[in-house]
């Protein structure tokens, strides 16, 4: 069974990635997601430093890092690519 705060942070990560960094994006939502992900990163670091590492904590730290990388990359992308679409980019659909 997961540590209470870890389970809560994992749910927050899943929700942030699903609703803010999903297939259809906007710059404001990406920026909000990046802020939330960095807050989650700080929260899990407190748990990391104050308890023995568990599989759940290690996995959550890794998922948060990947989430930050994905969101920051999406924020810097100036074109729509594949299925990932930023509604704030004006491009002619062919």
CATH of the domain at 45: 1.20.58.100
Q: Is the pLDDT of residue 91 over 70?
A: no
- For residue 90, give the 3-state DSSP assignment: coil
Specify if 8 maps to a domain. Answer: yes
The whole-number pLDDT of residue 94 equals 46
Q: How many CA atoms does the CB half-sphere of 79 hold within 13 Å?
A: 4
- pTM, two decimals, is 0.86
Specify if 50 maps to a domain. Answer: yes
Give residue 41's domain range. Answer: 4-79
The whole-number pLDDT of residue 27 equals 94
Specify if 22 maps to a domain. Answer: yes
Q: How far is Cα 27 from Cα 46, in angstroms, rounded to an integer? A: 29
Specify if 16 maps to a domain. Answer: yes
pLDDT tens digits, residue range 37-88?
999 999 999 999 998 989 999 999 999 999 999 999 999 988 887 777 788 8
Give how many domains the chain has, as a whole number. Answer: 1
Residues 40/22/76/73 CA torsion (nearest 10 deg): 60
The whole-number pLDDT of residue 23 equals 87
Specify if 94 maps to a domain. Answer: no
Specify if 87 maps to a domain. Answer: no
């Amino acid at each position: 069974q997961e540590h209470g705060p870890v389970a809560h942070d994992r749910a927050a990560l899943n929700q942030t990635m699903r609703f803010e960094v999903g297939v259809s994006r906007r710059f404001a939502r990406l920026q909000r997601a990046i802020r939330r992900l960095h807050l989650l990163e700080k929260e899990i670091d407190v748990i990391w430093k104050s308890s023995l590492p568990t599989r759940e904590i290690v996995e959550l730290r890794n998922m948060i890092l990947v989430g930050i990388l994905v969101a920051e990359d999406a924020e810097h992308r100036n074109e729509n690519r594949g299925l990932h679409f930023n509604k704030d980019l004006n491009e002619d659909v062919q």
